[in-house]
Structure 1
Amino acid sequence: MIDSGWLNIGSFVFGLIAWILPVGKLLRNNKQGNQKWFTFSVMSMSACAVSLCFQIIEIYYLVTIEDWSALSDTIGFVTFAATVLLIVTIILNTITLMVYRDKKQST
């Protein structure tokens, strides 16, 4: 069966990747890599999607085994964390888009 601990760890790791990729791209300001910002944004959004998918699988697993107390204890935080993950990922990738779009127009 599924070990839900690994789903939570995987979700956390992919959530971090979703944030690290655009931040890392913004901090590395080199002309050679300016063309690859879109790839980093797609990878970031994909990592966010995988992270959220892991949480959906975790919820499905709890429903399947009918662990209603675990579900009711965690669903509030999971909803909050998923919302924060999505909003911050979108904001970081939007900032990356604006920075590199402006750099492309100025060159």
Structure 2
Amino acid sequence: MDYSWLNIGSILFGLIAVVIPIINLMRQDKSTSKSLGIISGVSISSCAISLGMQILYTNHLVGIQDWSALMDILPTVANVSLALIVATIVLNIIMYKIYNKKISI
């Protein structure tokens, strides 16, 4: 079985997690948003799916005992995963605050 699709899927879901709030923040009409919860839910779920795919890929590398690949990718995967979590949370908080008139841009 080819496990490289896990990396591609992880990148795609990570991009979805960050791009959805950015697109929503770029909308012209910020007065109301009936689907704010759904948008946030999709963004956070995409982040979780992305991280889950990375965990599955790491599990695959452990299963085949490819220690050199693990040593090569793990520091980068850990840093990018942390950046994805922080970016997703911060963007969703900003989106929530803007749409609820707590702050204004």
On whether the aligned pair clears a TM of 0.5, the verdict is yes
TM-score where L is the length of structure 2: 0.91
The aligned amino acid for 1:64 is G
Q: CA RMSD in A?
A: 1.5
1:88 aligns with 2:87: yes
State the SS of the aligned residue for 1:35. Answer: coil
1:6 to partner: Cα distance: 0.8
Change (3 A) 1:33 1:17: farther
1:37 to partner: Cα distance: 1.4
State the SS of the aligned residue for 1:102. Answer: coil
Between structures 1 and 2, the one with greater helix share: 1
CA distance in 2, matches of 1:29, 1:93: 17
1:5 to partner: Cα distance: 1.6
The aligned amino acid for 1:57 is L
Asked if the contact 2:30/2:98 (under 8 Å) is kept, the reply is no
1:54 aligns with 2:53: yes
The aligned amino acid for 1:83 is L
- Render the CA deviation track for 1:78-99: whole Å, top value 9, x for unaligned: 0001000000000000000101
**Which consecutive segments of 4 or more residues in structure 1 shift more than 2 A?**
29-33
The aligned amino acid for 2:52 is C
Percent of pairs identical after alignment? 43
State the SS of the aligned residue for 2:100. Answer: helix
The match for 2:69 is 70
1:38 to partner: Cα distance: 1.4
1:31 to partner: Cα distance: 6.0
